[in-house]
Every structure is written in structure tokens, then in C-alpha cells.
Structure 1
Amino acid sequence: MRFAVDTGGTFTDLMVASEDGRLAMFKASTTPADPVAGLIDSLALAAAAAGEPLASYLARGDVLVHGTTHAINAIVTGNTARTAFLTTEGHPDTLVFREGGRIEPFNFTVPYPEPYVPRALTFEVPERIMADGRVRTPLDEAAVVAILERVRAAGAEAIAVCLLWSVVNPAHETAVGALIERHLPGIPYTLSHRINPSIREYRRASSTAIDASLKPVMGAYMRGLESRLREAGFKGRVLVVTSQGGVMDAASVAEAPVHLINSGPSMAPVAAKAYAGGTAEETLIVGDSGGTTFDVSLVRRGRIPRSREIWLGQPFRSAMTGMPSVDVKSIGAGGGSIAWVDAGGLLHVGPISAGARPGPACYGRGGTRPTLTDAAVTLGFIDAGFFLGGKMTLDEPAAVEAIRRDVADPLGLSVDAAAEAIVALATEHMVQAIMDITVNQGIDPAEATFVAGGGAAGLNCVAIARRLGCRRVVVTEAGAALSASGALISDLTAHHQAMFHTLSGRFDRDGVNRTLADLEAACDAFAAGPGAGASAVEIHWSSEARYADQAWEIEVPLARARFETEADLAALIDDFHRMHQDIFAVSDPGAEIEAVGWNAEVRCRIGTGQPGRLAATDRPARLPARAVRFLGTEARAEVEVWRLESIREGVVIAGPAIIESDFTSIVLDPGARAHRDGSGNLVIAL
């Protein structure tokens, strides 16, 4: 039996795959002060549904996969370790200067962002390695020892080491690491050439500093997670979702916690690709709408795009992780997003969220401010008596009163009109987030399929798709826990990279092949170690390339693991031009190409890798009709209500209608038509 748990801002989602391959879904309230408690609560719900004590139920488990926001939460809340930054003498401002760039070039009222590690904790190491790997200034070990004493006196809890050109010659960084172990034993540290061997100095320094700062807190979290799971009765393997869209052992990822920045959201496109399918030429727009955020990602030509330009906050106004990560855009728009009217009479929805505690007004947990969920209850989208399959009864009068007091009265609207405005504005926020990740990358959303996931996705997935011009919406059978369902089928993954510079006109085939051979050896070692016993092993290759002297490179998949003939090089060149055209709508087929980095991602299949099906239900397909006010209408209408799990394959449902499950409510606006396909997905034609 396998478990997959995704801890969100409002709910903790659990997917369980039983021994016969059937799936079961559970949701428990997230406990922000102690996320592991919410995880255990979700497992307790599953054990109770199976009629077993928690300990004996967990003892049957082989694997538990955990998606967590603990790393990014630690950064946002300032709960990371006090970190010292060691860099080459004469270059203390790498984290200060960054790479330039501004959101608003002429807005000088915005203060310059603080570096991730303050200058007071930045120390210059006497040494210098040149770009070709030659040692210009030998490492002064006595000076390093003196620096470490100053680090100790400063109260540093972790150390980040990033020396110039250590990606070409790591000898000095390795020596500094050995000195840290000798003179500051027990203090965690990160060496830049190991965590991120990138040619870009700021990105390498930033990822090193972030990783080091997270080691104490994430090490404690992972140890506590495993310990409490063992105490509860789980004896299997504990894996954690990484930003790259794979999983790693909890103990291993605690040694490189920078991989956990986008832990949970990275699984949504994995699930969409597996469940919604699509052709090699089709683009899937994946929207994962939970209680706190709306996360949007893509599946493009069967591949999940990744980016190294992942920011911890606003672009250019925060730190960049600099690590390859599934390209996910998140905004503060979810079921718990608070609606409010400013002093000028303008309505806002989010980014502030009511979270799990106190939650929306309708939860009855002390929340008094109106949210998107309150608006959905008011409009009839959600049955107040059937929330979470009837396990939680919502307070509809409290939702109505919150909207009347905070939105309807200030704007001079009826409660229904105010609730509709809240949903419409949240929808527009989500549409703009999708536009940012599609139109800005040359993708026409009208030619894509919208895959809606998350507990709040069904409230406006048809409205979002219509606004984008999409012709089809897919809500997967387990879409209410989209990230958890992706984690359940994900592969054990490790990403290895190396820097090697060469030009297409003077291509160093031997040097590139040596680099690829080293990467393959690292992948083979991973497959033989953590990946031992995998049912399948794949290595995905790519190169980071650009036009000669271009500022930025793009990641281009490689068709082969070695360059044996001129045709192999020609394939890389052609693929680069094609991808550049896709991303930037321009290419220069006659120009020389410059490759600067090489990547190998090894994926070890530890499960079936195939999407499962939820257990069948004998509940009636039709539920009592109810009055609903749809977006763009003037009054409520009595509409059909259907039970999602009980709809037979091929039955067509014409909107307006509501389709419900225990965990989501799907609003089928007038004019839309829905049916379930052979995989259990709800396919909506617009």
C-alpha cells in the first residue's frame, strides 16, 4: 500500500493506493503550527474509513510520499538558520548586486532588496581560481581558520561557500569544506560546486546560501517526520517531493533542502500528464486551485517545462533559487482568499488568505471575513450540508452575513451580486496568471486543454477556460487532490549537471562526451543506490545553450547520450532553433550556438507509474436539485445536481448543472456539456 500526502495552506490531501490498485482520497485540515500533525490526521481518517487502528493500517504501507511547503514557509517567515557566506576575496557583493533587472524601471520609491545573507555575515576568503581552472592565488588556510573563528563568534548556524570558478576547479571549495568539518564540527555547510555547478555566479551563490540556511530547519523537520511516522506505526520508505517533479528519500533531501522550495506544486503537471494524457503536440494548462493559492503550470509536447528563474517572492525584489524547477506560477487566489473593499471603493480578492485557521466565515471556526468559498456557498455552487462529503457542515448564514457586511453594503450591491463579483474577480486573477505563463511564452491558450485540479478548481474552471478561449476542460477523477495524486505515481529522481563550454562551429566532441560520461556515471550510481530495485530506469539528457554571446540560455533536450556523428550535433542545433522559436517567437538558423551546461536526470520507477482509479460507488447519480446563480445571470435557477463518481461513462450532462463529489463542486455553466471518459475524467466541452 502506498500513501501520498500534500500539505497545503488550508487542507492536507491524502491519496491511498491499496494493494489491488484502487485509490482513496482524504482531506484533513492543515495544522500550520505543526504540519506533521495534519499529515497524521489525514492518515487517521484513512485508517478509520478502513475500519482499522492507525498503527496496523500504517504497518501495511510500503511507501509514503510527502509534498511539503515547510521549506518555503521557513524562508517567508524568516525562520531559516543564521547563515554565513564565504566567497572569494574582492567579491563580497555577489548576493547584493544579483543580475540586475527591475519590474518597474522608473519606480525609484521601491527600496533596493536586501541580500539573502547580510554583508555582516559575508566573509572574504584569500584565494583565486581563474576561468580555465588555473590557481592564481593559492588558498590561505590559516586565514580560513581565522575566518571560521569569526563565523563562530557571529553565531552562525550554517555556512554557504561559493568561490569563483569552483565549477571548473573545486579544489579550494573542497579544502574549505574540510576546514569547516575540522574546526566547526556539527555546523552544516553547502559547497556551491556540489549543489549547483552553474556558470552564473549569482544563481550559484544564491542557491548555495538558500540551501545552507535551510539545512538545520529541514533536517529537524525530516527527522521529526520520520520519527513520528515510525511512532504511529509506519515502517516503510519515506519519500519527499522535490521541485524537479520527482521524489527523493527524506534523509537525502534534508542534505540538499533547496530542492524542496516548490515541493508540492511541482506534482500537479505530473498528475495532469498521467491522467489527462494528450497528444505529443498538445499543450495542457494545469490549474491547481486550493484553499490558499492558485498554482498554474504546463505540459507542453509531452514535457513538463522547467526553469532556473524561480524567485522566492517578486521577481528581482527577492532571491532567486537558481535551481532547475518545474515552472509553476503561484498567486494568492484560492478558496480561502479574503474579499475586501478598499477606501476608494474598489473590490479586492486575496492575496491574504483565511487559511485553515480560522478559515472562511462559513467554516464556523472564528473567521468573520468573506472569502471565495463563502461566495461559492452563497451562490449555491457548494452545498453547505455536503462539504467534504457531509463530514463538515458549513454555516451558510455566516457566509451571507460576511459578504453583506464587508462587500455588498460598501458597494451598494445585493448579496448575490456581491458574491458573483467576488468569484468573477478571482477568476480574472487566475486568468492573468495563466496568461503570464502561456502568452508570454508564445503559447495560445485557445489551442490548449485546461486541466483543473484542487478542491476549489471546479468553482470557476469553465469560466476560466471560456475567458482563455479553451475548447476543452478536463477535471481528473482524483483532481481534488491533484498534487497528491501526482506524487503517488512519481519516480525517484536525481538531477545531475556539469558545466562545459563549447561552440557549434568548433564543437569539442571529446570534451562534451567526457562530461556526459561523468554525468551518466553519477546517474548509474544513483540507480544502483537509492534507486535499487526500480522496475525501470530512464535518463533524460539536456543541454543549456544559447546563440553565441547571447545573455541567456535555454534548456534543450538531447536525443542521444553521446555525440557520435555530425548528425547528432545537427540534431542539437535544429532542436535549439526550434525551441528558441517556440519560446521567443524568433530564431536565427544561420547563427552559431554556444553550449554552456549539460544535464542528466535519472528517473527510477518505484511504483507502477500508471494512474489508478477511485473505488466504485453505488450512490445514485442524481442528487436533489437546488437554486444556483451562475456568473453573468440575473437570477437564480433550479438546476440538476449530479454525483461525479456515479456518472456512467458516455452520459452527457448539459449545463447549467452542478457536479459534486466529496471533495469538490464543479460548476457547469450554461452552454457547457460534460461527460466522463474511460479513465474517469470529467471532460467538459465549451
Structure 2
Amino acid sequence: MGLRFAVDTGGTFTDLVVADEDGTLGLHKASTTPADPVAGVIDSLRNAAAAAGEPLEAYLARGEILVHGTTHAINAIVTGNTARTAFLTSEGHPDTLVFREGGRMEPFNFTVPYTEPYVPKALTFEVPERITVDGAVRKPLDEAAVVAVLERLRHAEVEAIGVCLLWSIVNPAHELAVGRLIEEHLPGVPYTLSHRINPSIREYRRASSTVIDASLKPVMGAYMRGLEQRLRAAGFGGRVLVVTSQGGVMDAAGVAEAPVHLINSGPSMAPVAARAYGAGEAIETLIVGDTGGTTFDVSLVRRGRVPRSRETWLGQPFRSHMTGMPSVDVRSIGAGGGSIAWVDAGGLLHVGPKSAGAVPGPVCYRRGGTRPTVTDAALVLGFIDPDFFLGGRMALDRDGAVEAIRRDVAEPLGRSVEAAAAAIMELATEHMVQAIMDITVNQGIDPTQAAFVAGGGAAGLNCTAIGRRLGCRRVIVPETGAALAAAGALISDLTAHVQAMAHVESAAFDRERINGVLARLEEACAAFAAGPGAGARSVTIDWSAEARYTDQAWEIEVPLRRSRFETAADLEALVADFHRTHQEIFAVSDPSAPIEAVSWNAEVRCRIGSPEPGRLTPKQDSAKLAPRRVRFTGTDWLEVDVWRFEALPAGTRIIGPAIVESDFTSIVIDPGANALRDASGTLIIDFAA
């Protein structure tokens, strides 16, 4: 077995975790280059090669697998750099993307206009055809009319096409015919058929995911080809995999054919890593916070499962577009190490959502940044050693940070620089706590019964404060926490998600028909396992159904205990699990009411690496470093002990106040808290009475 690489491209830093042949891990970081994200990937690999004392080409030649998490797809959408896309839909339904699903964040605020459709009406075309809900052809496809539409698309210089026809999820014949005509009359123009990408009963969601996927195919195809070519040119000859929104990985070439799976690529891996690191904790719920330079991403692990959602928006709910695809339930806010602190005209302090990002970065980076950030505040308070940032490879400018905070925050507020810096940290903490409340309390989850897993390079600055503010039982900081998403990518499985629509009521359950649907899903999973998953260490299939109370508007996902309904007890188990899940999500259920299932899902997981996250090489340095002055919330300046994370022996207990530093993060142990490094290398922070 050769080297295995996992790279996560963030807004500020590109994280790299390397697993050696014996499973030992190495952690490396490089600055992200927004104009050329692949350059940041190569730079991180170059840093790893230098640390190993090898030329880059020879080092990469030992590589077996490279897993890449990228924000390139979502960035292309946000910046409008997607392809010029046309939308083909059934005659009489041109407004699917316009009407969407209704709703407004502020129902009576009519000053905010509705979002423009993802594909403009000028590029929306109606196709004469109609298939009914039972799959019967009411109106045959008018192929001559389709050819005429395609000629118009040629003259309009359309670069991609999304096709979503009514009830193609029951009978895809018309969509397949349109696809054949596109290949014949517009060869080389990428297209997406809705029944293939997202066989969902929800018309808007299916149409939205279809056009989003089509619009990303040219740009993501070019990105994936460029990534592979540059890795090959640098010396890597192994397999290139890409992280998906569902918390798994797919081959780069395959995912370029379905790029809608990449929209939440990077953040989906943090809970995967947290699940592995928190497996030994006897706690039902893990709250996962991934704090980078630009954003704070929150997700959950519940009873060993990573919750997923189809309510995935490309921005604010109802003010943006919905992907319609199942993805790991991640909530993101503009609160990270690079979040800019500013005071408005009314004298109120704000932190974020704007970020200094990688360019120009915080003031203390000396890269042209002029506005104070959370990182600058942490430096001023003594949380960060200016001479030991990135393991000493980057010296920080404390004087510049002090001056920026004095000018933009302290003087407008009439406070000292230290008090202003503390206020910045407190407000950033509060923003993060509110984001956590949204995904926990608002879903019936009690944070006081959970543990907080802190990930990301900036997580340690206020993870103890967040845990205390939430009342969490403890805070968990994995030793690879500074690159938590990359660590998750390293242990993730090769996955594929298949779905089929089949409506059935529990009161009149057609066991034979549903078992037939499940059998077809299992055949698709077996084909994937025999193809891309060939040679996997193990293959598992996770089954679920999307169900609701009769005539309820929305479905929820319910895990299936078995892959077939053999007896009446199997159906009873599904119904009971639905009631329990509904109670957990909405705090209400009706155990006496029948339910109806709408669709059936199977996710095949092929284990291609180790399920264990591995261990970093321990440092032989002294565990205790020189003390320094730190200002905590509610205290004056204190002289505190500073410890080297990688050199801490297992069983070492640290009583706060203290600072625990590694090459890539600084963990603040507030007064009244204590930390223990356990046998797995993880730092467990508890709160004393």
C-alpha cells in the first residue's frame, strides 16, 4: 500500500492529511489560491514532500489514492461562472423554476424581490409530450418540435441543457428520446436528464437539481481534467477521488458527469471524521463545528449516523435556489478566523459575514489586509503565538493587528484595544452558538446532552467558550482537528446513492411490488460495487425510505432495518421507526395513524481505506513551552502555561487557564476548564464545577 492523500480546499487554507504506508498521519497546510485552487493543492503536497525530505515527483510517485474536497462547484454558482444553460420541460409547465415552492423568509417584507429563476425564461423551452402518473403516454413526444428547439439552442449558443419532463421518474422514455436527439443534433453539448440525476417526486427540486447539474458540467469537467493532468504532471499516478455532498467519495471522472454532487463537497467530511473520533464517547449526539478562515460549518452525528437533508439551499432559504439533492445537513455562517470586525454608524459592533479570506487575509498576515479580523483579535489577546503560526513558518504582525483594532473597533466604541479584541471574540462566539442552536434546539436536540467536536484551524480559539455557552457535556478536539474535513476524507468510503419512487400506504402495503423495487436498487448497488468499488475491503448498503403521514405535505427519511419486507413485523418496524423519527424531529407524532412511503433509497458504501483515522507522529519536543500573558473573557492579563499538543503524553491533564498549541491551531483552555489527552491522542475538555 502506498501513500494516501486527502486534500480539503478551504477559503483561506488548503489542508492536507497524508497517511503513510503504516497508517501514520502527517498534517500540512498551504495558502489557498482563489484564482487557481489546484495550485493550493500542489503547494500543500510540496510542503508534505519537503517535510519528508523527498523531491515532489518521487514523493507523489509513492501515492496510491488522493481524495479531494473542493468548493469549486459552489464558487462557480455564487460567482456566476456556470455554463449558459437551457431548460427543457413539458408543454404547459414553463414556470417550474419560477414558482419554485413558494415561501419567504420574511412574509411581509415586500422590499426583497424573489430570486430570478436559475435558468431565465428566455432559455426555457416547452416540449410537446405528456406522461401520466401511472406511466402511460397521454401525448406522444413530438420529435420534430424537439429538433426545432435544439436548432434554436444552437443559435442561442447554449453550452448545457437540463431536461425535466413530467413523470419521467415513472416512465423515462420521453426524456431518453430527448437525450438521443441532443446527442444527434448538438453533439458535444453536455446535458442532464432529471430521472437519472434525481428521481424525486418533487417537481421543482428535480428540475432545479437537473439544471444546476447541467450548468456545472463544463466548468467542473474542465476542473477535474485539469486537476488530474496537473497531478499526473507533478508525478502522481494513483487514483483521484472527490468528496461528495453525501459524505462519501467518487472517482473524479465519474463525478464530473454528475457535478451537482459536489456543491457541499468539503463541509460534508467533518462529521465523518467526528464520528470516528467520537466513537468511544458514550454520548448520543455530537455537535460538529468546523471553523476555517472564512466560514463556520455546523453539522451533527446522531446515534452513529450523519443526518442528511434535501433542504439544501445555495444561499439563504427561499432567497436562493434549492439543490433538491440529499446532502449532509450542514449549516454555514460567515464566521471564521478571517471574519472582519467593524462598527456601524449606530456604534454597534459586527463580526462578519465578510471575510478577509486568503487574499488579502487578516492584517497580521502582512499580505495587504487592512481590516481587523477574529485572528487579529486572538493574536492581540495572546491566544496565538506570533512566532509559532503554522509551526513557525509564518511570522505574524502583532503591532499591525493592534493598530487595526484600535482604529476600526476600539476608538469607535470608546474602549481599550484589549477590551475591543475581547468583544470581537465574544461576538464571534455568539454567532457560532446561534448557528448551533439552529441545528440543535430548533430540531429538538438538547446541546447539554451532547459533546462539541471542534475542527478547523481556528476552532481552538473559542471552542471552550462555545462548549461552556451551550452547556455541552464536554469539548472534543481531535489531534487532526485543524484539518478535520481532510481527515474525514481520508477514511471515507466510495459511495453511490440510488433511489426509486414507489408510493405505497402502510394500510394497503404491496409487499411484492416494494420488494421488487428494493431488488432493483440492490442490483444497481451490486453493479457499482463490482465496477468502481472493485477490490474494496468491504461493501455495505444502507437502506432508507422517505415517508409521511397520509396526506402530509413533506416526507422524512427513515432508515430501514432490512433490505426486504419478508413479514408483517418488517412493516411494523418501519411504521414504528417513522413515528419515533417524526417525534425526534418535530416533537410530535401520532402512533395510531397510518403512514405512506413515497420513495426508497439505497446507498452502497465500499470501504477502500482504513476506517480508523490513524495517529500523527508524536513530537519529541518538550511538552511544556514557555509561559505567556493571555487575556481571557472576564479576566485581566494572566501568565499561563503553554503546552505542545503533539508532545503531550497520553493521560496528561491540564488545568485551565492554559493554552495548548500545535503547528496548525491554538486551543484556549479557559479558567475553570480542564483538558485531558486520552489514549487516542484526542484532547477532551471538561468544565469544572
Q: Shared fold (TM-score greater than 0.5)?
A: yes
1:616 positional shift: 1.4
Q: Which residue of 2 aligns with 1:668?
A: 669
User: Structure 1 residue aligned with 2:593, among 567, 586, 591?
Assistant: 591
Where in structure 2 are the equivalents of 1:394-543 lying within 5 Å? 394-543=396-545
1:611 positional shift: 1.4
Q: 1:190, 1:511 → 2: CA distance?
A: 29
1:281 positional shift: 5.8
Q: 1:651, 1:19 → 2: CA distance?
A: 29
Q: 1:646, 1:281 → 2: CA distance?
A: 28
TM-score (norm 1): 0.99
Q: 2:639, 2:219 → 1: CA distance?
A: 53
Where in structure 2 are the equivalents of 1:215-614 lying within 5 Å? 215-278=217-280, 282-614=284-616
Render the CA deviation track for 1:212-235: whole Å, top value 9, x for unaligned.
Answer: 000000000000000000000000
Render the CA deviation track for 1:314-358: whole Å, top value 9, x for unaligned.
Answer: 001110000010000000000000001111111110111101111
Report SS of the residue matched to 1:663: coil
Instruction: Read off the aligned partner of 1:103 and give its amino acid letter.
Output: M
1:96 positional shift: 0.4
Q: 1:502, 1:23 → 2: CA distance?
A: 49
Cα 1:7/1:111, change in 2 over 3 Å? same
Where in structure 2 are the equivalents of 1:632-671 lying within 5 Å? 632-633=634-635, 635-671=636-672
Report SS of the residue matched to 1:658: strand
User: Structure 1 residue aligned with 2:74, among 49, 72, 75?
Assistant: 72
Q: Which residue of 2 aligns with 1:631?
A: 633
Instruction: Read off the aligned partner of 1:149 and give its amino acid letter.
Output: E
Where in structure 2 are the equivalents of 1:175-190 lying within 5 Å? 175-190=177-192
Report SS of the residue matched to 2:440: helix
Q: 1:342, 1:79 → 2: CA distance?
A: 32
1:279 positional shift: 5.5
Q: Which ranges in structure 1 are unaligned for 5 or more consecutive residues?
A: none
Report SS of the residue matched to 1:90: coil
Q: 1:297, 1:101 → 2: CA distance?
A: 25
1:305 positional shift: 0.1
Render the CA deviation track for 1:176-219: whole Å, top value 9, x for unaligned.
Answer: 00000000000000000000000000000000010000000000
Q: Which residue of 2 aligns with 1:138?
A: 140
Q: 1:481, 1:616 → 2: CA distance?
A: 17
1:281, 1:302 within 8 Å by CA — same for their partners in 2?
no
User: Structure 2 residue aligned with 1:128, among 124, 130, 135?
Assistant: 130
Cα 1:281/1:626, change in 2 over 3 Å? closer
Instruction: Read off the aligned partner of 2:393 and give its amino acid letter.
Output: K
2:497, 2:601 within 8 Å by CA — same for their partners in 1?
yes
1:649 positional shift: 1.3
Q: 1:581, 1:265 → 2: CA distance?
A: 27
1:90 positional shift: 0.4
Report SS of the residue matched to 2:553: coil
1:61, 1:235 within 8 Å by CA — same for their partners in 2?
yes
Instruction: Read off the aligned partner of 1:465 and give its amino acid letter.
Output: G
Q: 2:561, 2:36 → 1: CA distance?
A: 45
Q: 1:317, 1:130 → 2: CA distance?
A: 32
Cα 1:536/1:233, change in 2 over 3 Å? same
Q: Which residue of 2 aligns with 1:62?
A: 64
1:278, 1:284 within 8 Å by CA — same for their partners in 2?
no
Instruction: Read off the aligned partner of 1:234 and give its amino acid letter.
Output: F
Q: 1:414, 1:637 → 2: CA distance?
A: 17
User: Structure 2 residue aligned with 1:10, among 3, 9, 12?
Assistant: 12
Report SS of the residue matched to 1:62: strand
Structure 1 residue ranges, 4+ long, deviating more than 3 angstroms after superposition:
278-281
Report SS of the residue matched to 1:48: helix
2:623, 2:643 within 8 Å by CA — same for their partners in 1?
yes
1:646 positional shift: 1.2
1:286 positional shift: 0.1
Report SS of the residue matched to 1:147: helix
1:404, 1:415 within 8 Å by CA — same for their partners in 2?
yes
2:283, 2:450 within 8 Å by CA — same for their partners in 1?
no
Render the CA deviation track for 1:234-286: whole Å, top value 9, x for unaligned.
Answer: 00000000000000000000000000000000000000001121567610000
TM-score (norm 2): 0.99
Instruction: Read off the aligned partner of 1:646 and give its amino acid letter.
Output: A
Cα 1:292/1:423, change in 2 over 3 Å? same
Render the CA deviation track for 1:127-173: whole Å, top value 9, x for unaligned.
Answer: 01111111111000000000001111111100000000000010000
Render the CA deviation track for 1:564-622: whole Å, top value 9, x for unaligned.
Answer: 10000000000000000000000000111010000000000001121100001101011
2:137 is equivalent to residue 155 of structure 1: no
Report SS of the residue matched to 2:583: helix
Report SS of the residue matched to 1:146: helix
Report SS of the residue matched to 1:614: coil
1:645 positional shift: 1.0
Q: 1:221, 1:113 → 2: CA distance?
A: 28
Report SS of the residue matched to 2:213: helix
Structure 1 vs Structure 2 CA RMSD? 0.7
1:20 positional shift: 1.2
Q: 1:519, 1:28 → 2: CA distance?
A: 42
1:8 positional shift: 0.1
Instruction: Read off the aligned partner of 2:550 and give its amino acid letter.
Output: A
Q: Which ranges in structure 2 are unaligned for 5 or more consecutive residues?
A: none
Render the CA deviation track for 1:89-112: whole Å, top value 9, x for unaligned.
Answer: 000000000111111111111111
Where in structure 2 are the equivalents of 1:26-41 lying within 5 Å? 26-41=28-43
Instruction: Read off the aligned partner of 1:630 and give its amino acid letter.
Output: F
Q: 1:418, 1:223 → 2: CA distance?
A: 47
1:240, 1:249 within 8 Å by CA — same for their partners in 2?
yes
